[in-house]
Structure 1
C-alpha cells in the first residue's frame, strides 16, 4: 500500500490522499463490507479499516418483520423532560425470556416517565388533528408548546387530555391567524364542542395568554374556496358581511354565521347560486341558522352589496325567507 500525504501551511490539518502505487490516476472504490479501498485497475488494496459513517441498519428487536431497522432514532424533542434519548436494554426472567433455541431475548425498552408518556400521546393527537385539518407543522408545534405549558402547571389534572389537546390546537390556529371553528375541531377530535369550549377558557387563564377576536373575513376565503365560488362573489360576500356588522344588523350572531349568510346572499344574486344547506355543510353552521342570519340582513340588502357588483338577480327578487 502506498499513499502520499499533504498538510496545510499552518500545520493544523493533515490530509492523507490515497493513490495506487501502480496507477496513481486510477479511480478507487470503497468496499463498505470489508472496510477496504481498492484500485479499479489492478485490484490492489490501497487502504483498509475504513470507518463507515452511515446509519447502522441492524435491528435488535424481536420483530423479524420490522420494516425500519435504522438505529438512528427520532429527532430530539426539547418539550419532553427526558429529551427523548434514554434507552435501557435488559434481559428478562422466566421461560419467556428465551427463544426456541435457548438463547436469551434482550428487550430494548425505553425508560419513559409518565409525564413524558402523556406528552407524547398528546403530541401525537395534535399532529393527527393538524394533518386532518391540512394545517402546517408550525401550528402543530405551537399547539404542542401550549399543551406543555398547561401540563407543567398541573392546573387541569383530571380533565380529558383530548379536550385539552383540541383546545390547544384551537388557540394555536387563532394565534397564527388561521382560525378554525369549534365544529371543525370536533370533527377531527374525540370530544364535544362544549368540552373544547370549557378547556379553551381555562387554558387562557392558566397560561395568561390571549387570542385575537375572530371576524367574518377569517373564514370567508376558505368557505368560498370550498364552495367553488368566484373571486367576485367572495369579494361581495366580504363587503356584505362587513356592512351588516357596521349597520348592526347581526348583533349577537357569531362571525361564522354572518359569513355563511353573506355568502348565501352574494351567491343568490349571482349566476352561481348555492343553497343554505350547501353553505351550512361547508361552514359547519345549521341551515336554519344561515337562513335566520340572512333574514336579519335582507331588509337592508340594497345597502349591503358593493357598487361594482354585477347582479344576475335583482335585489328585489332575492329570496325573502
Structure 2
C-alpha cells in the first residue's frame, strides 16, 4: 500500500497539488519510455493516425507533441492507468471508487521549441456534478526548472472558477491579465523520473517551454470519484459517446477501482454552456485562439 500520510493529505487539501517520488520502478519506467519513443517516431509517417497523434512542426520538421488517450492504444499505458501504487495514492484523495476520465502524453522538444500550455483549470474543460477529480502526471523524465515542469498556483483550487472563453469562443485558456496577481505565487513541480504529480481539477496551472537539451515526457491520467458525473459528456473527447447511448460497457470499463456509485450533486461553480472552440482538434490549436495568452507561440511570455 503506497498510502499518503497526514502531511501529504493536508498539503493537497490546502494547496491543491502534491508530488510523490519513486512510484514507478526502473523497469516500468524504461518500458514506458520505449513505447512512448515508438509513438514519437511516427511523426514523419504520412500514414500516422492523427486521431491519436497531435503532430506539430518546427523548422519544417514534424514532431509528436501529444499522444491522445494512450490507454486505448497500447497495453502498457492501460496498465499504467490501473497501476496499483498510483490508484492507492489517488484513492487517498478521492476514495476507493475511481473512474478514469481520460489520459494523454505531452511531449516537449528541447531547446525552447517545446510547446507551452497556457494557464487554465481542467475544470473549465470538463466540469462534473462534484469536483472530486485529480490529474496525475507520470514523469518519464526528470522534471527540472529548465524543461517546462508543471506550474501550479497554490490554493487556487479553493478560489474562483474562471471563464475559459475569449472572443465569444472556448479558448481553453485564462485571460492571464485577470490572474496576474496570483501568478507570482506559482510553484514549479520538479521531481525525478518515476515520480508522479497530482493536482486538483480546479487548480490554476500551466507549463512553459522546454529550454533544456533533453526530452520532457509526461503521461497525464485524469481520475474522478465514481459519484462524479460529467456535465459535458463522458471521458476524453474521443470517448464522450460512451455514456450518451453508446458503448456503456466500454464506459464502465473505465471504472479502475471499486464500484459504480449513485451520482452526487454538489454545490460547485461551473461556466456553462461551453461555446465551440475555433479549432478543437488539440489543446494547442484551441489555446491558439485565445487573445490574451501568457506564453507567446515561441514559449516566451507576452
- TM normalised by structure 2 equals 0.21
Of Structure 1 and Structure 2, the greater helix share is in: 1
State the structure with bigger RCO (CA 8 A, min sep 6), 1 or 2: 2
